[in-house]
Structure 1
Amino acid sequence: MPERDCVTLNAMITGFSRDGMNEDAIKLFMQMQRFGFKPSEFTFAAVLCAGIGLDDIVFGQQIHSFVVKTNFVWNVFVGNALLDFYSKHSRVLEARKFFDEMPELDGVSYNVIISGYAWDGQVKESLDLFQELQYTRFDRRQFPLATLLSIAANTLDLEMGRQIHSQAIVSTADSEVLVGNSLVDVYAKCGRFEEAKKIFANLAHKSTVPWTAMISGYVQKGLHEESLKLFKEMRRTNVSADQATFASILRASANLASLSLGKQLHSFVIRSGFMSNVFSGSALVDMYAKCGSLKDALQSFKEMPERNPVSWNALISAYAQNGDGVGTLMSFEQMVQSGFQPDSVSFLSVLTACSHCGHIDKALQYFNSMTQVYKLVPKKEHYASLVDVLCRSGRFDEAEKLMAQMPFEADEIMWSSVLNSCRIHKNQELAKKAADQLFSMEELRDAAPYVNMSNIYAAVGQWDNVGKVKKAMRDRGVKKVPAYSWVEIKHKNHVFSANDKSHPQMGDIMRKIDMLAKQMEKEGYKPDTSCALHNVDEEIKAESLKYHSERLAIAYALISTPEGSPILVMKNLRACIDCHAAIKVISRIVAREITVRDSSRFHHFRDGFCSCGDYW
């Protein structure tokens, strides 16, 4: 161009900034000063946008000084750009100070500062400013309704979501894309799928965002199969998945423990070009770990080009879930050496691993370092893990002392942990105390405390007390959770229970179990009838143990899969001692690796041994 002016330079700076060429935008801004051109409000807005892309707070502060020097601080357009810069650098205090000093405000100013507080997790401040905004003259259609709906979604505040929805309808802002997507998100996360589906169906444009919101909502509520159906439908409509979609759907695969599905999704992540994304990589680590494939989880972690605390936590948790205490503690130390600060999630995995492996002193050491070195405030689940470590090792006095000193009341999880350890160590006195605490609670997740106490009495032959506990359970209306296990065959989950006689191959399964029983007897296996907690003779007890749900699942896998192939069994309850001993023997007889995930952890059986070392 033979001549350049402020307008053309602004256009170039804006273009560079929009294309992510932030250094070029700033370089041109510096040249503009040398050429003697005076910046306008558009110049400052464009160059601050480039500063956001560069993540350079000092540069933004320099521009702020230049804005004051050139007397553009009065311009609300420039002021909003500065507010946006500070907010997106998590400098909410500076943003609020500047907001309070701005000579003129508009609806955008409020939007930026309210969103800044929301991103920073300061919900109260965000809501207080929104309340203030409602008394202004600004256009209600421009209110940050999408931000407020995201707060409602993340806090699962359905009532707040409905109030914001009403405001959106009144101001006709519900037709806007961001607001519509946010409405789907809030209703889905609050489990109101009928409302979410209705809003979703009426969206003018269904991008990846609302599809992912629906999928994520199903996953959060444990409706994993529904989330997979929706993901398939999303693919049929040719809507591209993003990192958030993959993170949600991999979580569904992990909770279904469907390794074959997880591997299909892994291939899809690769084809979609998201393998370099740290969140997709972390989700893959978590998925493989929860499917019992620690080898694949480690490989996925190694292949990640970039790592953050989330990916390290996924690795630490993978080791912990699979009972590898050494790997858990080693990866925790590697995370620290890599320069990442461990958080409460990291310590929870470490304490869980210590509990599963009986590392009492290490658990106490890490718990103390959490508070004294890293200045983290332990949550209830950290105390629960430490109580579990102490109780499992029989140190009940220390556990009771810790529970008395906690800054909150012991909950169902904690007392259930105490009760379970009392069953292992035959501490009937403390078991009764724990049971009384549990039975007096207003709500219980399931009948596990009643079943555990009943089993404690049954183990010592106190059948009258067994009857009293069962009567109390019936009177309260608490239903016993039926035991079931499932094993994946040909990409399908087959669910078995001890009472299920409807499967077309049940006869073959029973014959396989009887054949295994004879082979196991030759190997020296003897049933532990203390696990058959019914007042019947020993022969009937031994016979009933043969048909526990995990053994039915293993038998089905043995008659349905090639010889030597590994078997993965998922179980909804904790494996009993007899089944644990039986599966060790079966793994040696059939020369297969058998992995069982019960409600507590993974057990990897191979050649007659279990990875847990018989401590779980």
Structure 2
Amino acid sequence: MTKRNTSAFPWNSLISGYAQVGLYDDAIALYFQMVEEGVEPDLFTFPRVLKVCAGIGSVQVGEEVHRHVVRAGFVTNVFVLNALVDMYSKCGDIVKARKIFDKMPLRDPVSWNSMLTAYVHHGLEVGAMNIFRQMLLEGSEPDSVSISTILTGVSSLGLGVQIHGWVIRRGHEWNLSIANSLITMYSNHGKLDKARWVFNLMPERDLVSWNSIISVHCKHREALAYFEQMEEAGVVPDKITFVSVLSACAYLGLVKDGERLYTLLCKKYKINPIMEHYGCMVNLYGRAGLIKKAYSVIVDGMNSDAAGPTLWGALLYACFLHGDATVGEIAANRLFDLEPDNEHNFVLLMRIYENAGRLEDVERVRMMLVNRGLDY
């Protein structure tokens, strides 16, 4: 164990291991134990520890580690500086992140991407575009990460089209990551024809490509057509794929198609349904007026105790639309426990009772509202 007291290597490995499984509190505690025992952090320690600070989301802890960086003499190291930019941006201090970025003696692609991602993450489109322009002016060639980040971050279709034009001039339009981002960019602005145009011309497609084009058509029958093409192309759908196609079935009222796809999810592809899948099925049956089937999804299809407000809320709304007071009562009572201060659930149940002519029950629920201090 003597080596443990002199070398940072075993400490770095443990810190990295904790961070990879999301045990950030244990990782940062280990780092401070390392410092307390007099072990000198090395070049590989700080990027790991700063990632941990970002995971915790504590700018105070991050600032303390930043001081350690300065005292250890790594304040000019590009790997450590990149980690500092990333840490401050993820902890919400975009000003400090930019200050470090501006003082960097040397910037690599990671530096630019970190700053660019920071602005996009915080919704600061002007800052993101300025970084992108600065990158070009300084002769640093944006990579696929930079271009994809800016494409998915711009709220202006005009800017997106300009960037697309620049991408074409540079010959990068069929880079897989960039093409996928173009699909997302155009669909975000309602230009489904442009999204389809990009997708149809792509020389190669991956799972992200298929999920993107299916997702943007989640209110259209084309979602199912693209799903069939995906299967024919030999691409295996994942959980995200099925959320999109089941959402399309629920929105369009395609009960039989939804049931068929849900069977594929479970039987053919052996995917364990997640909450979003159950939510889609509740919506599918609920919109179609098949209230008992929607209720069965929650009670029999999954553990009803695990069903959250979204599922019970969808069921309650379906009961309101189709006048099912019996199941509506069950759903509302469950929601009263899950969301005791959500006035909307009480109001929906009152309307269900009112439509059923159960005026005494309307008054009873109204008094529950009053007794809980909720306005109506």
TM-score when normalising by structure 2: 0.75
> Shift in Å at residue 281 of structure 1?
0.7
Match of 1:324 among 220, 225, 228: 220
- Whichever residue aligns with residue 308 of structure 2, its letter is D
> For 1:581-592, what aligned pairs fall within 5 Å after superposition?
none
> For 1:266-305, what aligned pairs fall within 5 Å after superposition?
266-305=164-203
CA distance in 2, matches of 1:201, 1:466: 63
Q: Deviations over 1:493-516 (max 9, x none)?
A: xxxxxxxxxxxxxxxxxxxxxxxx
Larger Rg: 1
Query: Partner of 1:403 in structure 2?
Result: 298
Q: Deviations over 1:102-156 (max 9, x none)?
A: xxxx7679868987x699x65569x87x959949997512234324544664xx4
Tell me if 1:360 matches 2:255. yes
CA distance in 2, matches of 1:465, 1:292: 45
Q: Deviations over 1:328-385 (max 9, x none)?
A: 2222232233232221111111111111122223323322332333232322212211
CA distance in 1, matches of 2:371, 2:194: 43
Q: Deviations over 1:147-197 (max 9, x none)?
A: 4544664xx421497375565355343542122222222332343434434
Distance 1:123 1:164, change over 3 A: farther
CA distance in 2, matches of 1:336, 1:148: 43
Distance 1:242 1:466, change over 3 A: farther
SS at match of 1:141: coil
CA distance in 1, matches of 2:281, 2:105: 52
> Shift in Å at residue 285 of structure 1?
0.8
Match of 1:345 among 233, 240, 249: 240
Match of 1:427 among 324, 342, 358: 324
Is the CA contact 1:348–1:382 (under 8 Å) kept in the aligned structure 2? Answer: yes
Q: Deviations over 1:465-484 (max 9, x none)?
A: 69949976994599xxxxxx
Q: Percent of aligned pairs with the same residue?
A: 28
Is the CA contact 1:181–1:210 (under 8 Å) kept in the aligned structure 2? Answer: yes
- Whichever residue aligns with residue 414 of structure 1, its letter is L
SS at match of 1:274: coil
Tell me if 1:251 matches 2:148. no
Query: Partner of 1:146 in structure 2?
Result: 47
Is the CA contact 1:141–1:172 (under 8 Å) kept in the aligned structure 2? Answer: no
Q: Which has the higher helix share?
A: 2
Count, aligned residues: 359
Unaligned residue ranges in structure 1 (runs of 5+): 1-105, 479-616
CA distance in 1, matches of 2:153, 2:347: 30
Is the CA contact 1:316–1:349 (under 8 Å) kept in the aligned structure 2? Answer: yes
Is the CA contact 2:324–2:352 (under 8 Å) kept in the aligned structure 1? Answer: no
Unaligned residue ranges in structure 2 (runs of 5+): 1-6
Match of 1:173 among 74, 80, 83: 74
CA distance in 2, matches of 1:250, 1:234: 11
Query: Partner of 1:388 in structure 2?
Result: 283
Match of 1:314 among 207, 212, 217: 212
- Whichever residue aligns with residue 44 of structure 2, its letter is F
CA distance in 2, matches of 1:420, 1:379: 21
CA distance in 2, matches of 1:247, 1:466: 55
Instruction: Please tell me the root mean square deviation across aligned C-alpha atoms, in Å.
Output: 4.4
Match of 1:184 among 72, 79, 85: 85
Is the CA contact 2:291–2:324 (under 8 Å) kept in the aligned structure 1? Answer: no
Distance 1:470 1:275, change over 3 A: farther
CA distance in 2, matches of 1:245, 1:144: 26
Is the CA contact 2:250–2:284 (under 8 Å) kept in the aligned structure 1? Answer: yes
> Shift in Å at residue 317 of structure 1?
0.9
CA distance in 2, matches of 1:434, 1:288: 39
> Shift in Å at residue 277 of structure 1?
1.5
Distance 1:297 1:177, change over 3 A: same
> Shift in Å at residue 390 of structure 1?
1.7
CA distance in 1, matches of 2:108, 2:223: 40
- Whichever residue aligns with residue 232 of structure 2, its letter is Q
